[in-house]
Amino acid sequence: MEKMSFNDREAVKMEKIPFKGKDRNIIGTSIRWLSQCGDDGFGYPEYGLRHFTIEPGGEIPIHNHFYHQTMYILTGTFECYEYDMDSEEKTRIEITGPGDFVFVPSMEPHGMKNIGEEPATFLCCIGNVYEKE
């Protein structure tokens, strides 16, 4: 067991995220890794809990990844995006605020934007879940 403080974790500005072979710019977003363990072989932990801060108008563009994630809104108002890989259609889903959460399965393309006038925050829990053979 390890006790830590939020303030012990550095907020790191996110710059780019890959999707469909291209790096996409991340706008006004920082991340603090609160906990993590394991290695999935692709540079990500098997499990992690992260705290995100997105500035007004900031955005994490459409992307996907191997791990499942749940994003729990702490402050602010977001809109999330789903993306259909076949039609390339983007669907907007408004997240009204604190207490809302979004589950994103492995490899599902998604994105997120702060649509409020204040910095907005959320916790994001990630975990690899493998099917049994």
pLDDT at 133: 54
pTM of the model: 0.89
Residue entry with tokens 């990844």: 65
Tens-digit pLDDT string for the chain (133 aa) = 889 999 999 999 999 999 999 999 999 999 999 998 888 777 778 899 999 999 999 999 999 988 899 999 999 999 999 988 888 788 888 777 899 999 999 999 999 999 999 999 999 999 987 766 5
* 27 domain-assigned: yes
Q: For residue 79, what is the domain's CATH number?
A: 2.60.120.10
Residue 61, domain extent: 8-101+114-127
* 3 domain-assigned: no
* 108 domain-assigned: no
**Concatenated DSSP letters of 31-83:** EEEEEEE---SSSS-SEEEEEEEEEEEEEEEEE--SSEEEEEEEES-EEEEEE
pLDDT at 102: 93
Residues written for the chain:
133
Degrees to nearest 5, angle at CA 2 with 99 and 10: 65
